[in-house]
Structure 1
Amino acid sequence: MAEINLPAADTVVKTARTYAVDLIERVVWTFLGAAGAVALAGGPADMLNVSFWQGAGTAGLAAAVTLLKGIAARVVGAKNSASTAPSV
């Protein structure tokens, strides 16, 4: 019977932790970027009543914030990660 080579348990745990840290960071930054984009696209006084184009602009601004954050993370964090968390 062929032998199955599985990674060590500490590798799997570290990978899961790294994934969780990266995911939480991306969720928080996307929320902050989207909140800022809504305030910019719809205006603070009218942010709950936006048109289709304002909504599309909001999505574009949130995507731009995420892109800029990922590029900035390359300077701050590891070169092969879009995370600013030092453990990722």
Structure 2
Amino acid sequence: MSIKGRFFLDLVERTLFTYVEVVLGLMIASATTSAIDLSVAKAAAIAGIPAALAVVKGALSSMLGTPGTAAALPSGAEPRA
């Protein structure tokens, strides 16, 4: 797979997961408290903002981290214990 293809798939995966996480988080928060009253449509619309930010973050990370991916860490970077 080409570097551009890998980057695109990586970015799509991160964006979709961010979107789903935010929608589910908003629905759970809305169901557990009366302070937040969101319909599913509103939650889905609101979740678009963090998903769009995930795209921006992935694009910036590709310039700073591993080339060809949306990862912010350089290739082979190990987390410190």
What TM-score does the superposition give when structure 2 sets the normalisation length?
0.48
Higher Rg of the two aligned structures: 1
What TM-score does the superposition give when structure 1 sets the normalisation length?
0.46
